[in-house]
Structure 1
Amino acid sequence: MEETMRIKLFVNYTLLFTFCVFLSGCAAATSDDAAKLPITTASPKARELYLQGRDLQEKLRALAARPYFQKAVAEDPDFALGHFSLAFTSTSTKEFFASLEKAVSLSDKASEGERWWILGAKAGTDGNPLKQRELWQKLAEKYPHDERCQNILGGHYFGQQQYKYAIEQYEKAIELNPEFSQPYNQLGYAYRFLEKYEDSERTFKKYIEVIPEDPNPYDSYAELLLKIGKFDASIENYRKALAIDPLFGASYTGIATDYNYAGEHANARKELQKLYASAQNDGQRRAAHFATTVSYVHEGNLEMALKEQEKMYELASKINDSAAMSGDVATMANILLEFGKPDAALMKYNKSLKIMQDSDNSKQQKDLAERFHHSNL
């Protein structure tokens, strides 16, 4: 199947959730420096726990970060940024929306800058990127010397595929603090999407230099190597990431993708079995099923691809995660359409929309589901 098909598989609420997780990689700085975005909490212990979680979250180690945020909000239940970070380390869309709504409800108790950040993320999940841009531009302007605020705005431009503007913001963040690792990651991807592969490689290698003992720099560099067809070198770097952290699931998916492109689909799915076996929660199990779906689609096996999606749907239905369930059914529709079955696809698209319409999700989420539905038709 064409690469466009594999991309389209993500056009659902799973993608929305993942995109929001990406945006959360920018965490607030301490309030000791007036030039930095403050952290508003009544509990010094909550602040300490938050900062420990922040360090892991910025390195894209959400699974390890999440317990710190859980402990932080236990220390201070009114800690808006604590709930905000819980949202972005959630393992399901249901958890994500619940924690985000809690952060929004507490945002009036936070500083103006924190409120802009939280409400900007909410605007993004509601399908209002212009509102998000307005709020995050104000944030970056209010804190011009805070590398994380510049990075947040860069995340908006990146998400809108305005990579040149994103690059400007990431470079500002790096200039402010060359040891802040996260902008190197997104900068490397921005160059990659612009097909500036030499710049992308240079950036990812610098990212490795900044945090050599973390898995994500090797994973990101491996993805670039995958993109340019250097499959063996790509797998080697994915293995480096897993040697550092055997639970870093993205690297199993990356190796599987290398094998898919090489036409070795059975080997791809062997790697994904390792991902499933190492899963710590249903979110990771869903990720393993989805990657297996992609492998079967690439191989041209409709029946097995749909079976994997059914497994994803079953996991989501266990907790009545309507957004994930809707996304799973929409993905089934995308697959059916790609395999030349438009009538069956239409039935799935309609079912996907109905799941959201009948759910207790917010009006904004339901409206966004309807827009997705019309775009699919």
Structure 2
Amino acid sequence: MKTIFLIALLLGSAAVAPAQDHYLPVSSTSQTAITSLHRAADLYSNIHFKEGKAELDKAMAEDPSFFMAYVYAIQYAPKAEKAPLIEKALAIDQAKFNKAEQIMRGFVEKWSKDTAAKAGETMKALVAAYPKTPQALEWASLHSFYTDKDTDAAVEYAQKLATLSPTYAPNYNILGYLYLEKKEPEKARGAFEKYLSLAPNEPNAYDSMAEYYLIGKEYAKSAELYDKAAAMGLPDAKERADKARAMIK
């Protein structure tokens, strides 16, 4: 499934980061809240939206001043729900914010004026501050693609992430869609196959591979993979499988 940064893409069960340094640092002192935030990230990345939101809500309930949790919530929230979240985020005392939080607060301030604000300069600053933190590169790639519509920048960040963290499965999902956007289907196929090999228990991996075949008009293969995703519990995959089958001549 083509991820939308409104609802995002972070990690998957077969690709859960092996160490906490995968994530950007946070200033919360509640380990419970931090754990819930990381779980939310893991769930959202592979399209477990309902479960991800539940973990995100837990993080904010456990620590109402958890700034980075609000950043996640703002990114994922429907447009109509962003304003109150932005207001709450900007009301949090920033005296003890780390560099990542300071950078993202600047972007939240931009969001407060324009929810369609470009992210390029913010993401450059984030990656410059945390060049060896996978999540910084992931956010930069996703914002480049979905917020700024800058496919070349998104590919560059995603390729750097693949080098830094080669077994991080969701990155290959975004790479697959980036290569499709650039009309490079063979590279797209390789990226989706890598995602599937690293995350065989994630229905979204089958759904994305199915979409690749659908775009390539290989409808039988597409339907088979959509059926697999549906059997694993992915919402709407059965409907997509039926549509793919209907296109078989």
TM-score normalised to the size of structure 2? 0.82
**Structure 1 position 180, deviation (Å):** 1.6
Q: Partner residue of 2:127?
A: 140
Q: Partner residue of 2:60?
A: 73
- Aligned with 1:179: secondary structure? coil
Q: Does 1:258 align with 2:229?
A: no
Q: Partner residue of 1:11?
A: none
Q: Partner residue of 1:285?
A: none
Indicate if the aligned counterparts of 2:10 and 2:43 stay in contact, CA closer than 8 A.
no
- Aligned with 1:50: secondary structure? helix
Indicate if the aligned counterparts of 2:230 and 2:237 stay in contact, CA closer than 8 A.
yes
Separation (CA, whole Å) in 2 of partners of 1:112 and 1:77: 20
- Aligned with 1:222: secondary structure? helix
**Structure 1 position 32, deviation (Å):** 6.3
**Structure 1 position 69, deviation (Å):** 1.3
Structure 1: runs of 5 or more not aligned: 1-17, 265-377
2:136 aligned to which of 133, 149, 173: 149
Structure showing greater relative contact order (alpha-carbon pairs closer than 8 Å, 6 or more residues apart): 2
Please give the residue correspondences for 1:276-355 in structure 2 after superposition, counting only pairs within 5 Å: none
Separation (CA, whole Å) in 2 of partners of 1:250 and 1:222: 13
Indicate if the aligned counterparts of 1:136 and 1:153 stay in contact, CA closer than 8 A.
yes
Q: Partner residue of 2:149?
A: 161
Q: Does 1:38 align with 2:28?
A: no
User: Root-mean-square deviation (CA), in Å?
Assistant: 2.9
Separation (CA, whole Å) in 2 of partners of 1:118 and 1:230: 45
Separation (CA, whole Å) in 1 of partners of 2:150 and 2:183: 14
Please give the residue correspondences for 1:45-194 in structure 2 after superposition, counting only pairs within 5 Å: 45-90=32-77, 92-106=78-92, 108=94, 110-117=97-104, 119-120=106-107, 123=110, 126-129=115-118, 132-159=119-146, 160-194=148-182
AA aligned to 1:94 is: A
- Aligned with 1:21: secondary structure? coil
Separation (CA, whole Å) in 2 of partners of 1:134 and 1:151: 15
Structure 2: runs of 5 or more not aligned: 12-16
Indicate if the aligned counterparts of 2:223 and 2:244 stay in contact, CA closer than 8 A.
yes
Q: Partner residue of 2:7?
A: 21
2:203 aligned to which of 215, 222, 225: 215
Q: Does 1:235 align with 2:214?
A: no
TM-score normalised to the size of structure 1? 0.56
- Aligned with 2:7: secondary structure? helix
Separation (CA, whole Å) in 2 of partners of 1:118 and 1:87: 12
**Structure 1 position 94, deviation (Å):** 3.0
Q: Partner residue of 2:14?
A: none
AA aligned to 1:222 is: A
Q: Partner residue of 1:330?
A: none
Separation (CA, whole Å) in 1 of partners of 2:18 and 2:28: 11
AA aligned to 1:249 is: P
In structure 2, the CA distance between the partners of 1:96 and 1:233, relative to structure 1 (3 Å rule), is farther
Q: Deviations over 1:159-212 (max 9, x none)?
A: 233323221110111111122222111100011111111110111010011111
Separation (CA, whole Å) in 2 of partners of 1:257 and 1:105: 47
Q: Does 1:249 align with 2:238?
A: no
**Structure 1 position 76, deviation (Å):** 0.6
AA aligned to 2:171 is: P
AA aligned to 1:258 is: A
Larger displacement relative to structure 2 (155-164 or 75-84) = 155-164
Q: Partner residue of 1:293?
A: none
Larger displacement relative to structure 2 (184-193 or 229-238) = 229-238
**Structure 1 position 257, deviation (Å):** 5.0
Q: Deviations over 1:21-64 (max 9, x none)?
A: 23x648xx89965x962022121211122222221122221211
> Quick one: percent identity of the two aligned structures?
24
Separation (CA, whole Å) in 2 of partners of 1:242 and 1:98: 35
AA aligned to 1:95 is: E
Q: Deviations over 1:244-264 (max 9, x none)?
A: 22xx2252453365367x399
Indicate if the aligned counterparts of 1:39 and 1:114 stay in contact, CA closer than 8 A.
yes
Aligned residues: 237
1:199 aligned to which of 187, 192, 198: 187
